[in-house]
Structure formats: C-alpha cells, structure tokens
Structure 1
Amino acid sequence: MTGWTLNPEYTTGESGKAFSNLDTVFALQGEFITSDPLSEVHRVHIGGRTYYVKRYTGAGKHLRRYLGRPRVQAEWENLLHFQAWGIPAATVVGFGLERDNGAFSRGALITEELADTRDLAWLASQQDACLADRQWVARVSYQLAHATRMMHDQGFAHNDLKWRNVLVTRGGEMFLIDCPTGAFWPQPFLGYRVIKDLACLDKIAKYQLSRTQRLRFYLIYQRQTRLRTADKRIIRRILRFFEGRE
C-alpha cells in the first residue's frame, strides 16, 4: 500500500495540520528520543498534547523493501490488533508509507503519549517501590497475563515481550507498546513463540519478583488455580529458554 491514514479524532485543529500527510510528518521538528538503522523517534508537542513520531526510512531485513510487510506497517497493524482485542496500548494517531517503483521508500507511525507512565524495565533499574508493593504487582500481573493470553489465543505472538515494552502507571494500569515483530503463527510454530514471549517476561521478573508472584502470573495466564503435569514441562521450557544467552 501507499498512502496516509489519520485517526478521525485528530483531523481537526493543530494536529490535523501537523499530521495531514507524510510530507508534514517528516517535516516535524521535535525532541529526539532514539534511533536504529531503520527508524528514528521524536517527541512533539502539538495543541497541548504530546505525541511520539516514529519515522522509517528502511523496511526491514532482506526482501522486505519489495516483498512482505515493511516493519512500520507491521507495527501499526499490531497496535490496531491490540485495540481490537481490548488490550490496552498506545493510541494510534496516524500511519502510512510510500513506495517508489514498488520498493519501500519511507513510512511513519504516530502515537499519543501515555501520560504518567514508565516501562517496567525502568522501574526495575531504579528499584522502584512499586515492585515491592504486592497489591500493585498483583494488579499489573493480572492485566499483563490476560493481555498475553489474549494475544496467544488469537494465534499471535509479540516476539519481543520484554519489560521495556510494558508501560505502567503508579495506579497499576498497564499498556503494551512497540510491537513491530509480532505476527500470527500456525501450529506447531506458535508453541515456540508462546514460550519465547513468556520467557521474555520472566527474564527480569525472576530477579524482581518472588516465585509465588511469578507462579500466580502463570496460573492467571493459563486460567487455572493449580499446576498440572503439563504445566511443569512448560515452566521448565520457559526457565531454560535463555540459558547460555544471558
């Protein structure tokens, strides 16, 4: 596809002018946040609101420049999937891409800032008191377990479900962000991806949470009250997933 889509809620006023098409989006000046070989992220303040503008100049690995979904398209489609499934995530404001003679040229994704949030990895690095609050941990774990199970029930795996991609508030609300490599998988391939998602979440959790808290997360994810024999095999696979790679 080639084109630009703007969420109807943002088509009027200053946001409508600033985000009207790819040319205006690429001309925006804002606070530089981060970059990688394919994209860069800027934070902009428009009309009293704050937005994250992710601009892509690369499509992804190998033949994605010509074939398959460019990375930016995968990212906006996955966020829209989360919205459709009822998974809390950043609001998609605008998205689109351009092709030149069939090859990916550029693309962009705009999301509105989730105010007063921090990612779980940052909280862990700061030894934040929230992680020592059992009720707060229980509330976030419940939401995250349900969100993860919802994805997997659709045959979808996040593929980078790390603490840095989970935003939370002091009140215990949870949101998912940054999912450009998530995809739908048929069995038996989905099973491996499910284990990877759960192992990614546990990578920091094993250092920050108690065994009881981690087990409670797993049981909520499985919609069970106690472990079965099969669960013990699954848990062993989760615990061993990153062995030798940390």
Structure 2
Amino acid sequence: MTSHWHFNPAYADREPCAVFRSIAQVFSLNGELVTTDPESEVLRVRAGQTLYYVKRYTIGRRKLARRWFGLRDVFGPQRAVKEWQNLLRFRAWGIPTASLVAYGQERRFGRFVRAALVTEALPDTVDLAELAIVRDPRLSDRTWVRHVSTQVAAYARIMHRDGFVHNDLKWRNLLVDNGPRPIVYLIDCPNGAHWLRPFLDYRIVKDLACLDKVAKHVLTRTQRLRFYLDYLGHDRLTDVDKRQLRKVLKFFTGRE
C-alpha cells in the first residue's frame, strides 16, 4: 500500500494537526453526514472551535463500464485529485476558495484505493442558490448584486482565458459572506479541467449558461448583460460576442 498525504503546515499548531494528520485518521472520523453518493461522502467535523469539511472517496459501487473495465483506477485521473488540484489552482489565480487543510490518496499495486481532502469551513457564508430560493432581499439591492456579479465575472474570465472550465459553475458553488461588500468564494470543482478548442468553446458556453440558469429568474436583463460585458471586458457587444451570447441563452432550451 502506498500512501501520499499532504498536511498544510499552517495548521501544524492547531487542533487539525491531531485530527487530520494521516489518511487513516481521516477515514476513522465520525461526523455529521452532509452528502453521499456511491463514490464519496462529505462529513462536517468540528476540531476545537472550528468546523471542517471532510470529503472521502472510495472505489465504490461504480458499474464496470463506467470504470473503463478497471483501467480507470490505474490511468484515469481521480475526482479527488482533481478537486484538490483545482482548489490549489484557484488559490494561485487569486480566486478566493476554501482553505485546504490536508489531502491525499492511497494506492495498492498502482490502483486507486481511497482518497480524501479536508477543507476549513468558510464562516458566515451562504451559497447564492440558497439566496435565490428564499428570495433574499440582498438580490434586490443593485449595489450588492453589482459587487457580487463583478467578482464572479472576473473569476470566470480568469479561468476561461487560461483554457480552464469549471464544468459545474452553478450558483450553489458560489458562496458569499455577510459583509456589505461581500467576498465571493468559488468551491467544489472536482470536474474542472483544461480543454482545447473547439471543445473549450462549448465548455465555456456551458459554464456561462449554468450561471444564467438561475440568474434569469432573479436578476434583470440589464444586470445579466452587465455581467456578460464584465466577463468579456468590453463596453459593448461585438458580433462575435452576440453569437456566443445566443448560444448561452439557448443552451438549456428543451433540457429544463
């Protein structure tokens, strides 16, 4: 068995040092179950006065065909690995995200066995999807919306200009804090990846369409257009911009 485990030295003198020091310790933890699927589960765990999210991956009960008849466990990139790589990538780009406390995986004879990553909870935050569901009054505050929209547009522009797409750029994966000028955090990105054209163009449209899927129900047309112009870095739409925008607006037609 080969184990690769990385512990953030910034937490060496804090409670997580004793709780998340090894992958074996992480898999022995009990906590509040947040979500689960055949391959992974997310627990909310308290260490000292701070909450942490523990995401644990196993081989699970995937169908053989979906596992590439076993080859995926040898050659295929694991979602856990991509998730912590992408969180580190966001940090490098200056995009606010959850702090990685620890991450790593175990392999046996080259095959994936299990993996985990631990992130510190972002205090006093809520995802944008929840705000939309409850019709939070902040979404009626044009100044607040403008401040949030500008940040999200900047994050999307940074990713896409590097040839990277989130692949699940939905309101539920965007957290905001409670400040009058809130900070927007981008989280949960196990499917994000770099793409080459022409596949990149399609994926970019999908990212933008995922954002607009909720925005069209809670924001004005002017606010949505302003977001798109901020994303492009343009004062007005060009013919190329208009063609892309039409694709974004039509992306989920017949799929909802």
TM-score, with length taken from structure 1: 0.97
1:56 counterpart residue number: 57
1:11 positional shift:
2.2
Q: 1-side partners of 2:59 and 2:155: how far apart? A: 30
Partner deviation per Cα, 1:177-220 (whole Å, 9 max, x = no partner)? 10000001112211111000000000000001000000000000
Partner deviation per Cα, 1:23-51 (whole Å, 9 max, x = no partner)? 10111111111111111011111122110
Q: 2-side partners of 1:58 and 1:220: how far apart? A: 42
Q: 2-side partners of 1:202 and 1:147: how far apart? A: 15
2:43 counterpart residue number: 42
1:5 counterpart residue number: 6
Aligned-pair identity in percent equals 54
Q: 1:129 aligns with which of 119, 126, 137?
A: 137
Matched, 1:98 2:103: no
Q: 2-side partners of 1:80 and 1:2: how far apart? A: 20
Alpha-carbon contact 1:2-1:99 (below 8 Å) kept: yes
Q: Map 1:161-200; keep pairs closer than 5 Å.
A: 161-171=169-179, 172-200=182-210
Amino acid in the other structure paired with 1:203: K
1:227 positional shift:
1.1
1:236 counterpart residue number: 246
Amino acid in the other structure paired with 1:235: L
Matched, 1:215 2:225: yes
Amino acid in the other structure paired with 2:18: K
Q: 2-side partners of 1:233 and 1:180: how far apart? A: 29
Q: Map 1:131-150; keep pairs closer than 5 Å.
A: 131-150=139-158
Matched, 1:111 2:119: yes
1:227 counterpart residue number: 237
Alpha-carbon contact 1:11-1:20 (below 8 Å) kept: no
Q: 2-side partners of 1:139 and 1:170: how far apart? A: 13
For this pair of structures, how many residues does the alignment match? 246
Amino acid in the other structure paired with 1:194: I
Q: 1:77 aligns with which of 63, 80, 85?
A: 85
**CA RMSD, Structure 1 to Structure 2 (Å):** 1.3
Q: 1:154 aligns with which of 158, 162, 165?
A: 162
Alpha-carbon contact 1:130-1:170 (below 8 Å) kept: no
Q: 1-side partners of 2:223 and 2:3: how far apart? A: 46
Q: 2-side partners of 1:153 and 1:58: how far apart? A: 34
Amino acid in the other structure paired with 2:25: T
Q: 2-side partners of 1:15 and 1:104: how far apart? A: 25
Alpha-carbon contact 1:40-1:56 (below 8 Å) kept: yes
Deviation >2 Å, runs of 4+: 11-14, 58-64
Match of 1:227, SS state, is coil
TM-score, with length taken from structure 2: 0.93
Which structure 2 residue ranges, 5 or more long, are not aligned?
none
